[in-house]
Structure 1
Amino acid sequence: MEAGRIVTGETIHPSNCPICGLDNDCGNLSGKPRGTCWCSRESFPDEIFDLVPSHQMNQSCICRDCLSAFKNGRQDEKAE
Structure 2
Amino acid sequence: MKCPFCKSDNGCALDDSQTCWCFRVIVPDDMMALIPLQQKGIVCVCQRCIEFYCTDKIGFLKTFDLV
Larger radius of gyration: 1
Q: Shift of the alpha carbon at 1:57?
A: 1.0
| Paired AA for residue 23 in structure 2 | S
Across the aligned residues of Structure 1 and Structure 2, the Cα RMSD in angstroms comes to: 1.4
The answer on 1:20 being equivalent to 2:6 is yes
Identity of counterpart residues, as a percentage?
A: 32
Stretches (4+) displaced over 6 A: none
Match of 1:48 among 12, 24, 31: 31
The within-5 A match list for 1:1-80 is: 15-29=1-15, 31-32=16-17, 34-35=18-19, 37-74=20-57
Give the unaligned 5+ runs of structure 2.
58-67
Greater RCO, 1 or 2 (C-alpha within 8 Å, sep 6+): 2
TM-score, structure 1 as length reference: 0.63
Give the unaligned 5+ runs of structure 1.
1-14, 75-80
Q: Shift of the alpha carbon at 1:50?
A: 2.2
Cα displacement string for residues 2-40 of structure 1 (whole angstroms, at most 9, x for unaligned residues) = xxxxxxxxxxxxx011111110100102x12x33x2111
